[in-house]
Structure 1
Amino acid sequence: MSTAEATLATTLPGEHVRIAVNKDTEPFWQAAKEGRLVAPQCADCGTFRLPPTPFCPNCQSRGVNWIELSGEATVYSFAVVHGIPGIPELTLVPAVVDLPDAPGARLVSNVVDVRPADVTIGMALRADFSPIADGWMLPVFRPADVRKG
């Protein structure tokens, strides 16, 4: 097995990740800081939306309820990135994940603690949180059968 095949996917080092928070996104980031995954749901028509927006893309309502999710997800799409400028040894698996408790909502994140060759469309995932800059936490996803070490 080559070194690349044995390397587990990770996420960017936390000090390199900065987020922008505004009134529409702050509930998402505050929940992540507490180790919870949430999604905005239109208070009028029930449409889920990620990323958070000031109004519902379906009915244009500004009413929103923040729904706590189970953290379960599945891989909808993914890529494998071997190295980035300044960190050539980094292996990333950025992915678009489906959130079954928020139908229609998808989140872009990273799949971690898995060999990139083992990631598949439809793979069951579980949310976890990784520390990033300024005391925030970034939602990441692990294969559902992998426990945090």
Structure 2
Amino acid sequence: MNLGELKVPGPTRTALTVPFWAAAAEGRFIVQHCADCASWVFYPRQICPYCWSPRLEWREASGRARLESWSVIHRPGHPGWEPAAPYAIGIVRLAERPSMLSHILTAEPRLHLPLQVRFTQVGAEILPCFEPQNE
């Protein structure tokens, strides 16, 4: 299935998330990094959840992750996703330590599967999805 052919809603953009989505559209994977305690932070926030510093900066992340949990969707909640079903959605733990929810581009997800980001056309958007690492 070509995910670019789907008629699905795109991500909600806010002032905090615009840098993330703009970088994704350019094929860059960025995550917030705290200038005070050196923690990596995702989802985008105004203050660091570890030390409460407001000094969060966007930095290039490695794009490497491990699959922590997943669900294979057979009956999507939005009709635009029906042509893609079944598909996997999962929680990935980034190498930098934050976790995020993402589309998983494999028919055989498994616990702790090494992943890498792959920018993928999904509907009208370029989204960071994850696929198995080339080992």
TM-score (norm 1): 0.77
How far off its partner does 1:89 sit? 6.0
Q: Structure 1 residues 14 and 46, CA, compared in 2 at 3 Å: closer, same or farther?
A: farther
Q: Does 1:21 align with 2:16?
A: no
1:44-65 deviation line (CA, Å, top 9, x unaligned): 1112111111111112111112
CA positional deviation for 1:23: 2.2
Q: Tell me, which stretches of 5 or more residues in structure 1 are unaligned?
A: 1-7
TM-score when normalising by structure 2: 0.84
Alignment of 1:37-116 (within 5 A): 37-84=29-76, 86=79, 87=82, 90-100=85-95, 102-103=96-97, 105-112=98-105, 114-115=106-107
Counterpart check, 1:129 vs 2:84 = no
Contact 1:97 1:107 in 2 (8 A): yes
Give the letter aligned to residue 109 of structure 1: S
Larger radius of gyration: 1
Deviations 1:101-126 (CA, angstroms, capped at 9, x unpaired):
x12x01110111x22xx211110111
Q: Percent identity?
A: 27
* AA of the residue aligned to 1:80: V
**Quick one: distance in 2 between partners of 1:143 and 1:19?**
23
Q: 2:6, 2:83 → 1: CA distance?
A: 16
Runs of 4+ in 1 over 6 A off after TM superposition: none
How many residue pairs were aligned? 132
Q: Is the 8 A contact 2:32 2:58 kept in 1?
A: yes
